[in-house]
Amino acid sequence: MFAAKLLPQLFAFFGIAAVVLRGYPERRRPLAVSVGAGFAVGAAVAFFLFRNFPGSFPFELIRTVVGASFFLFWGIAVTALYRSSERALPDASGRSSRLDAVAAPVIALGAAVTAGALAACRFSGNDAPLGPVPALVLLLVIGALLAAAGFFLEAKLPEALTVSRAGTLGGVVALLLLSSSYLVRLDLFSPLSMKVMKGCHDFVHQFMESVLIPDHLFVRPQIWGYIGILFSKEVGFWGGMVIWFTPFLLVAIAVRFELLPSVGHIRQGAQRRKLLAAAIRQRRMKLIVPLLSLVLMAGAAYRSSFPDVEYWDPKPIPVAADPSGDVFIPRKGGEVDLSDGKLHKYLLKGGAREVRFFVMLTPTGKLTVDLDACAICKPDGYGQGEGSVICYYCKTLIPLETVGKPGGCNPVPVAFSEKPDGVHINGVTLVNAWSTTVQSTGAKKEGGK
Amino acid sequence: MTVPTIQTAGLTKGYGDICALKPLDLQVAEGEWLSVMGHSGSGKSTLMNLVGGLDRPSGGSLSVGGQDLSALSEDGLARFRREFVGIIFQQHHLVPYLSAVENVMLSQYFHSVPDEAEARLALERVGLGHRLKNRPGELSGGEQQRVCIARAIINSPKLLLGDEPTGNLDHKSTVMVLELLKELRAEDRFTVVLVTHNEEVAAWGDRTIYLDDGVLVREERLRS
Ligand SMILES: Nc1ncnc2c1ncn2[C@@H]1O[C@H](COP(=O)(O)OP(=O)(O)OP(=O)(O)O)[C@@H](O)[C@H]1O
Ligand SMILES: [Mg+2]
């Protein structure tokens, strides 16, 4: 329960301790202490934020930190690749070790603070069995124990298992992402994929439609179809995946192409070959962390598609339009009561098209009818939580008061007429609303032009 | 005074009830060429296997190149074999479907990384520069044994062990192989221990020891 819930976060923290200590072995002791202390600080600060700033502010803060660390890693990965391809010997001036004197504690502390905050996110205080404060104290004790365990276990790892500098950061970032992927509101995967998708989509609109080929005679509809495939919703997904996975691949490539020591001056063949073999073996060992990070990332990406919190998400009730095209939803019928303030989902099948929409009573006292999709995301639908609905795709929380208003990731509102017996919606309006605004059909819309 | 390359004290080896080597005290100086003689079953190969790290002693102490072999782990022993000794057997144990140069490179591979240029050089040193691409089956017995020598010295061992390396060769080839060993030793300064049944071969060494039923019965110094 309480402890089991925290397992991914604690595992990630333990991994961070081990990776950082392995990456900077000269400073094991101070680093272990700062990792332990950082965890405590991060947990305490997050805890304080949750108590004093309810709502999504603390989540946004932590999410930003995790996201920023990921993009920092992007830059470092590119740099690592660039440096590894330099056909010059690494300078022996000791510049890198002076850089390490700063980098090691910064990485250790930053990662540990974030890991602590992520762990604290797992219990906003109230669902802990002993009450919030003892739970926090317990968490701090566990954190200290894990830091100590990392300190002793890391020393037991085989000597040959080395970690490159970029690899250290890669491991840390992958573990943070894994840890955050277990928290719906901290999950970074879908929002980024969404942004990529939107970027591609906008690009098609702006560039292809208005600048390059405005309704040209020779551009056949089929060609638009192909362009549509290129920029369909899959692009967002794969674009996101590329962003997530390339840094790790870049680091792996950088390690793989690291220069071998120059051995030309060693006259005895056996001696020379031995040095080369040792360097190659070390390079191979350095690949373990980036490759392991790839696996962790894949786990995190997979994980993020399963929201952890239980949302109210009823199965859509199939409805049909009458011959005049009217879709009628009774105010009360069966187990459904439209005025209970809950999300009520319906599914309209119009020929080959399916439209998912919902009806709900908002806290403002008005009924609203909206598509179960927004204009920017993949239509994964919404679930209802406390005081808000969540877009499953981008994990944005939309306060109930604003449901029914258009824009952003809000569900797309649909016109309807309210009668005493229920709600009447025009079927054609529904189908059109879905096919003109919902992302997945957006590309087809251009294709069919 | 330098550390002897081989130093044993009360070294024994038994296989079940059979005592193949009775307590043996032996010292071989660095750079020395020692011949080992004795009738069949007297424990010569047993001694070679122990010294070469192919087998572990049953008792006594055995230090080779300053390393206590009985204290080494399996990994340590494997590294010792890779880096410290080169072994030549009576049967050549060459891989039949690899060429001469590939057979030498195989040994480099197990040591560290293969280096073809260096392997060619080694074969040229043993006078096989013109048979690099031939497979063992296409070489004479003497040539095969020279490939074995190239393979044994490629990783610059400090100790070269030969278990009847000339046992299958005629007189002319035997002399060629021994001549070659002598030259290489002069250049690379490794220690040689050679098991033989042949007095004439033994005479190439600095010293000969005679084993009988696992006991060192006689020792003869030919030169120092
Ligand atoms: N693996 C083994 N298992 C059991 N007994 C063995 C083993 N190896 C050797 N022996 C025995 O140990 C004794 C010594 O054998 P070893 O091979 O050392 O003799 P050798 O002097 O090399 O003889 P040869 O000149 O015929 O090669 C022999 O009695 C042999 O039968
Ligand atoms: Mg024998």
B163 vs A302 pLDDT, higher one? B163
A326-351 average pLDDT score: 84
Span A95-149, pLDDT tens digits: 556 677 788 888 999 999 999 988 888 765 455 555 677 778 888 888 899 999 9
pLDDT at A369: 92
Higher per-residue confidence, A6 vs B180: B180
What's the confidence (pLDDT) of residue A226?
Answer: 67
Read off the pLDDT of residues A272-295 as tens digits, 9 standing for 90 and up: 999 999 888 888 888 888 899 999
Compute CA distances B16 → A51, A311, B70, whole Å: 76, 73, 19
Q: Which amino acid is at B42?
A: S
Rounded Cα distance, A173 and A182, in Å: 15
Least confident stretch, A9-18, A60-69, A196-205, A410-419: A196-205
Residue A364 has pLDDT above 70, yes or no: yes
Q: What is the three-class DSSP state of B30?
A: coil
Q: B25 Cβ partners below 8 Å, 6+ apart? A: B8, B9, B10, B11, B216
Q: Give the residue with greater pLDDT, A409 vs B165.
A: B165
Partners of residue B121 in chain A, C-beta under 8 Å: 269
Flag whether pLDDT at A352 surpasses 80. no
Region of poorest pLDDT, from A195-204, A408-417, B11-20, B164-173: A195-204
* Maximum CA extent, chain B: 50
For chain B, give every domain's residue range: 31-56+72-221
What would you measure as the largest C-alpha separation in chain A, in angstroms?
97
Q: What is the pLDDT of residues A7-46, one digit of tens each?
A: 888 899 999 999 998 888 888 888 899 999 999 999 888 8
d(CA A437, CA A232) in angstroms, rounded, equals 14
The mean pLDDT value for B187-196 works out to 94
Q: What is the token pair recorded at B41?
A: 């079953």
Question: Residue A359 phi/psi, 5° resolution?
Answer: -125, 135
Q: Higher-confidence residue: A118 or A235?
A: A118
CATH architecture entry for A317-448: 3-layer Sandwich (2.102)
What are the domain boundaries of chain A? 2-305, 317-448
d(C-alpha A247, C-alpha B45), whole Å: 57
Say yes or no to pLDDT of A187 above 70: yes
The two three-digit tokens of residue A277, written as one number: 């073999």
| Stretch A388-403: mean pLDDT | 82
Q: Work out the minimum CA distance from A250 to partner chain B, whole angstroms.
A: 26
Q: What residues contact residue A352 under an 8 Å CB cut-off, 6+ apart?
A: none
Written as one string, the DSSP assignment of A326-359 is EEEEESEETTEEGGGSS-EEEEEEETTEEEEEEE
Burial class from Cβ neighbours inside 10 Å (0-12, 13-18, 19+) for residue A72 reads middle
Which pLDDT belongs to residue A208? Answer: 61
Q: Under an 8 A CB cutoff, do A276 and B118 touch?
A: no
> Residue A422 pairs with which residues in a beta bridge?
A330, A419
Q: Do B112 and A273 lie within an 8 Å CB cutoff? A: yes
**Token pair of A413 as six digits:** 């509102």
Predicted local distance difference test score (pLDDT) of residue A441: 43
Confidence grade of residue B212 (pLDDT, cut at 50, 70, 90):
very high
Strand pairing of B59-64 and B6-15? antiparallel
Task: State the DSSP code for A405.
Answer: B
Nearest to B115 by CA among A87, A279, A274, A255: A274
CA–CA distance from B137 to each of B101, B102, B127, B133 (Å)? 14, 14, 18, 12
CA distance to A72, A82, A96, A263, A435, per residue, from A87 (Å): 25, 10, 18, 15, 55
Q: Kindly give the number of the ligand 1 atom that is closest to the alpha carbon of B197.
A: 25
How many CB atoms lie under 10 A from the CB of residue B83?
17
Q: Residue B60's pLDDT is what? A: 92
Residue whose CB lies within 8 A of the most ligand 1 atoms, among B13, B17, B18, B22, for a mutation test: B18
Contact check, Cβ <8 Å, A269/B118: yes
Q: Which ligand is nearest to the CA of B198?
A: 1
Sign for the CA dihedral angle at A149, A155, A160, A163 comes to positive
When pLDDT is cut at 50, 70 and 90, the band that residue A212 belongs to is low
Q: What pLDDT is stored for residue B29 in this prediction?
A: 93
- Tens digits of residue pLDDT in B4-22: 899 999 999 999 888 999 9
Mean model confidence pLDDT for chain A: 80
Amino acid identity of A359? V
pLDDT of A114: 92
Per-residue confidence band for B24, with pLDDT thresholds at 50, 70 and 90: very high
Of A269, A278, A280, the CB nearest to B115: A269
Confidence (pLDDT) at A440: 55
Task: For residue A248, give both structure tokens.
Answer: 């790790």
Q: What is the pLDDT of residue A449?
A: 31
- Give the span between the Cα atoms of A273 and A331, in whole angstroms: 83
Considering only residues A421 and A308, tell me which one the structure prediction assigns the higher pLDDT: A421
CA–CA separation, A70 and A64 (whole Å): 10
Tell me: pLDDT of A2 over 70.
no
DSSP-assigned states of every residue in A181-237: HTSGGG--HHHHHHHHHHHHHHHIIIIIIIII-SS-SS--HHHHHHHHHHTSHHHHH
User: Dihedral through CA A49, CA A55, CA A60, CA A61, nearest 10?
Assistant: -10
Residue B115's pLDDT band (cuts 50, 70, 90):
very high
Percent of chain A with pLDDT over 90: 15
The fold for domain B31-56+72-221 equals Rossmann fold (3.40.50)
Q: Does pLDDT of A88 surpass 70?
A: no
Ligand 1: which residues within 6 Å by Cβ?
B 15, 18, 20, 38, 40-46
Per-residue pLDDT at B178:
93
